[in-house]
A and B are shown apart, each in its own frame.
Chain A
C-alpha cells in the first residue's frame, strides 16, 4: 500500500493530534506559521505513508485528505 496526504495548512491549528495518531510517526509540526499564526503540520517522509488515514480521522478540523493505492 502506498498513501499520500494533502494537508490544508491554512485550516490547520497545530493541535498535533494527527502526529500522535500516525502509527509511522510521519507527521510533525513545522516551525512555520499560517495566516492565523498557528504552526501547521507537514509530512516528514511522504514516501513511507501507507494511507491508513488515522491522521485524517482524528483531525478535529478536517484538514487532511488521504489517498491510497495498491502497489504491485
Chain B
C-alpha cells in the first residue's frame, strides 16, 4: 500500500488540534509549552466549550498564548491572572475560565493572588508550568529552582543559606480548603502526555461543575535556560525534578 493510499481523510488518527491556528509558535525548539497548548486546545474542543472559554495568559514565555489558540483570551498583569480569572468567572459563571501561568508568574510575583484565589474556592482552573527557572527573561533563579541548580543569577548553584528553599506551591494548594483537585503532571513521554490531558479535562469539568478551584501543575523543561538539548532536558527533568516534585494527584475530592 503506497503512502498516498494511506493518506486519506478516513485514516486520519492525529492532527494539529482544531483550535490551534497556523501562527508559528515563538517557543524554543522542544519547549513543553507547545505540548500543553495542544492539550488545552484538544480538551476545550472535546468538551464543546470553544465559544464559552476564556483563557488568561500570564507574563512569561506564555504571554503570547492568545496568538496560538482560537478562544477568548485576556492578558493579565504579572502574577495577577487568578484575580482576573476570579472576576471573569464571577461575572460570567457559564464560562470555562482558566489561567495559564509559569512558575515565576504564579509562585513568585503572583503567590498572593494564587493562594487566595485557590483558597476562596473560585471555580477556575490554574495550569501551572513549572520549569524551575525564569525562561523568558534569560534563565534567572525562580522560587521553584532546585537546590544546587545553576541559573544565570545563581551561577554556583542554589544554596539554602543564601537563596532559601524551593517553594512547593502545589503542596501548599493541596492543603487549602477551597481547592477540589490538585495534581502534578508532566509531558515528557506519550504516557505522561495522555495522563496530563486527562488531568486537564478533569480540572476543567470540576470548574464547570462548581466544585471548587483546580490546580494542574505540569513539571516542564526549559532546554534553553538549562542549556541542554530538548531530549537531554527531558532526561534531566526525570532525574532531578521528579524527586523534588513527584508526579500524581495531591488532592482529589
Which residues of chain A have a CB within 8 Å of any CB of chain B? Answer: 2-4, 6, 11, 13-17, 20-21, 36, 38, 46, 51, 53-54, 56-69, 71
Within 8 Å by CB of B3, from A46, A59, A68, lies A46
Nearest chain A residue, comparing its CB with the CB of B193: A57
Chain B residues with CB below 8 A from A15, complex form: 29-30, 223, 230
**Bound CA span A14–B223, Å:** 13
**Bound CA span A64–B38, Å:** 12
Contact B11 A62 (CB under 8 A): no
| Interface range, B side | 35 or more
Within 8 Å by CB of A60, from B14, B31, B229, B231, lies B31
Contact A62 B6 (CB under 8 A): no
Q: A21-B189, A62-B20 are in contact. Are A4 and B3 (CB under 8 A)?
A: yes
Q: A57-B190, A60-B27, A62-B17 are in contact. Are A4 and B229 (CB under 8 A)?
A: no
Q: Shortest 9 CB-CB distances between A and B: which pairs?
A: A60-B34, A15-B30, A13-B29, A15-B29, A62-B16, A4-B6, A67-B11, A66-B14, A53-B14
Contact A13 B30 (CB under 8 A): yes
Q: A21-B190, A57-B14, A61-B25 are in contact. Are A67 and B8 (CB under 8 A)?
A: yes
Which secondary structure characterizes the binding site on chain A? mixed
Q: A4-B7, A71-B1 are in contact. Are A16 and B34 (CB under 8 A)?
A: no
Contact A67 B12 (CB under 8 A): yes
Nearest chain A residue, comparing its CB with the CB of B41: A62
Contact B29 A66 (CB under 8 A): no
Cross-chain pairs A/B with CB under 8 angstroms, 15 sampled = A4-B6, A4-B11, A15-B30, A16-B230, A17-B231, A20-B231, A51-B13, A53-B13, A57-B194, A60-B34, A61-B34, A62-B20, A65-B16, A67-B6, A69-B11
Within 8 Å by CB of B13, from A21, A60, A63, A68, lies A68
Which secondary structure characterizes the binding site on chain B? mixed
Nearest chain B residue, comparing its CB with the CB of A12: B29
Nearest chain A residue, comparing its CB with the CB of B16: A62
Contact B32 A60 (CB under 8 A): yes
Nearest chain A residue, comparing its CB with the CB of B230: A15
Q: A13-B29, A14-B29, A15-B29 are in contact. Are A58 and B6 (CB under 8 A)?
A: no
Contact A38 B29 (CB under 8 A): yes
Chain A residues with CB below 8 A from B31, complex form: 60
Instruction: Say whether B198 faces chain A, with CB atoms less than 8 Å apart.
Output: no
Chain A residues with CB below 8 A from B30, complex form: 13, 15-17, 60
Q: By CB atoms of chain B within 10 A, which of A54, A60, A64 has the most?
A: A60
Chain A residues with CB below 8 A from B8, complex form: 67, 69
How far, in Å, is B10 (CB) from chain A's closest CB? Answer: 8
Inter-chain pairs besides A3-B13, A21-B190, 8 sampled, C-beta below 8 Å: A4-B3, A16-B230, A61-B27, A62-B34, A67-B6, A67-B7, A68-B13, A69-B8
